[in-house]
Chain A
């Protein structure tokens, strides 16, 4: 393998992501030293190995004596699943509406954009609180909230792009060739916004992980005892002084995962879509 070629890729973020998010998410069953739900009540609140603990629990244990490392590893599954499903749903809805609004313009556009306004104006966390209060915290509720929060951003961005793309001559050419509206939207316009969707989706992974963590922190994320990262931080937050490792390491996992995803998203954006200005 030529090194110079490798250097063109953001190796560090990819490595971190693999180590923190993907490998644990896929192989936690085999990699994690312990069952993440298994309590070792005699080993409660054990510090990490370099803080006077044992190799058995490398990153220490929580207040029920569960292995922090194993829980973080399994938590990656939830981070990944929620991001993947939530973003997929949000992006799909948003992209579709954005495409339709930008292409059709007129009334459709106005209606969709007002919906976007409404969605942006409703504070997402409050919405989640209400959801959770109505149906109890659940994986599905988190996905719904994530999708609800995200779709509007996608719709806005995609619509703006479609508005300019539809004025490009190739769209006119496709119509001159006799293509139907559906064909034009799906075969000509959609491929031109796919990059944007991909870049935005990547950049949103961080947002979603943080949102999930915030929801868990408020007690309205995925329910206990699921080792979702946000819940892990929230669970240990009282004990920051005496058992800092319980929330510190999940916090670090969130930080690193989000940071790497963002770096990757940046890199993707530079590669795929230098014009996209999105945060």
Chain B
């Protein structure tokens, strides 16, 4: 187990290194930040002095190595757009907002999806199952940004129940979290359902029945504990979709998180921030997957020893 985690950790590091390379390459393909930041009437001299100032005139591999060296020390450069802050600062400042929103939406999806999936599996083939399936599918078919706009219009503008956008307390988070969760709820519910179906068909559930265990305990304890492994592994992937979803949702709701930040950073060719965002996303993603691996072992004792 420890060895397994150690190997996974090393692999994650290698992946991360490759990601820095890709990110570095991509950002430098996207054009010079000078163009984004200098005004219409900047002169050639002004441009050149800025290029030198930011070290953009050095060969790419040198820039990459310098970047990597600094990155190892946690220094991803200063933001070109949010002057006065380092790229890391800018991103870290915004990360909590994204994590909060993502966390809430994950929570929301779990709270809705797991029971939905369990109930659907329990009542397989009935109307309950079919309606749950339609609800789930609907969630998977709605364009998130569209749902976001609709939610704003109905619940914030029309009914005035929630604020429309921006950062704030729980009320600010509810609509974006719902919009964000819509897709995951669907995915999770359907996964839970199919895992539960397998679980409910299993011999140990049969044996539990033969032991005289009441039905609710069979469903919620015996079967779910086993079925939980499948949605749990899905969580790793979910992390990715959360981060991606955050870009869309945050821009609809002007939620000042990393998603919104990344759009602005790319539009502004703020390399250091783009790099920091992507690398941080990757780290978060790899970390979550790493934790999921560990959790997996917790939930499933079979893995613990392997």
Query: Touch between A and B in complex, CB under 8 Å?
Result: yes
**Contacting residues of chain B (14-62) with chain A, CB-CB under 8 angstroms:** 14-15, 18-19, 22-23, 26-27, 29-31
Cβ contacts under 8 Å, A41 to chain B: none
Q: A117-B286, A218-B248 are in contact. Are A133 and B267 (CB under 8 A)?
A: yes
Q: How far is the CA of A234 from the CA of B252 in the complex (A)?
A: 11
- Size of chain B's interface in residues, with CB distance under 8 A? 53
How many residue pairs bridge A and B at CB < 8 Å? 134
- Decide yes or no whether A174 CB sits under 8 A from chain B: no
User: In the complex, what's the smallest C-beta–C-beta distance from A83 to chain B, in angstroms?
Assistant: 14
B243 at the A/B interface (Cβ < 8 Å)? yes
Q: Is B81 part of the binding interface, using a Cβ–Cβ cutoff of 8 Å?
A: no
Q: Say how far B127's CB is from chain A's closest CB, in angstroms.
A: 16
Return the contact of B266 from the options A120, A133, A230, A277 (Cβ within 8 A). Answer: A133
Query: Whole-angstrom distance between the alpha carbons of A277 and B233 in the complex?
Result: 12
Q: Are B191 and A279 in contact (CB under 8 A)?
A: yes
B254 within 8 A of A: no
Interface band, chain A: 35 or more
Partner pick for A214 among B145, B149, B234, CB 8 A cutoff: B145
Collect the chain B residues with CB atoms within 8 Å of residue A224's CB: none
A129 touches B240 (CB 8 A): no
For the complex, is A213 an interface residue (Cβ under 8 Å from B)? yes
Least CB distance from B82 to A in Å reads 18
CB-CB under 8 A for A121 and B31, given A114-B18, A258-B141, A263-B137: no
Is there an interface contact between A279 and B146, defined as CB atoms closer than 8 Å? no
**Which of A123, A237, A279 touches B244 (beta carbons < 8 Å)?**
A123
Given contacts A114-B11, A117-B289, A129-B262, 15 further A-B contacts (CB under 8 A): A110-B11, A114-B15, A117-B11, A118-B18, A120-B240, A122-B281, A123-B278, A125-B247, A126-B281, A134-B31, A234-B145, A237-B145, A237-B149, A277-B194, A279-B190
A118 engages B22 (CB within 8 Å): yes
User: Is there an interface contact between B31 and A114, defined as CB atoms closer than 8 Å?
Assistant: no
CB-CB under 8 A from A230, the residues of chain B are 143
B187 at the interface (CB under 8 A from A): yes
Q: Are A121 and B286 in contact (CB under 8 A)?
A: yes
Digitize A88-128: 1 where CB-to-B-CB distance is under 8 Å, 0 elsewhere.
00000000000000000000001000100110111111110
Residues of B contacting A218 with CB < 8 Å? 247-248, 251, 263
**Given A130-B274, A134-B30, A255–B191 Cβ distance below 8 Å?**
no
Which residues on A sit within 8 Å (CB–CB) of B11? 110, 114, 117
Spell out A's residues near B (CB within 8 Å).
110, 114, 117-118, 120-127, 129-131, 133-134, 206, 210, 213-214, 217-218, 230, 233-234, 237, 240-241, 247, 251, 254-256, 258-259, 262-263, 266, 277, 279
Residue of A nearest to B195 (CB): A277
Q: Do residues A233 and B263 form an inter-chain contact, with CB atoms below 8 A?
A: no
CA distance A234 to B149 in the complex (A): 11
Say yes or no: is B1 at the interface (Cβ < 8 Å to chain A).
no
Given A120-B285, A133-B267, verify A206-B247 contact (CB < 8 Å): no
CB–CB B143/A133 < 8 A: no
Known A117-B15, A130-B30, A133-B30; judge A122-B187 contact (CB<8 A): no
Q: Could you jot down 7 A-B contacts, CB within 8 Å?
A: A114-B18, A117-B12, A121-B281, A129-B262, A213-B145, A213-B146, A218-B247
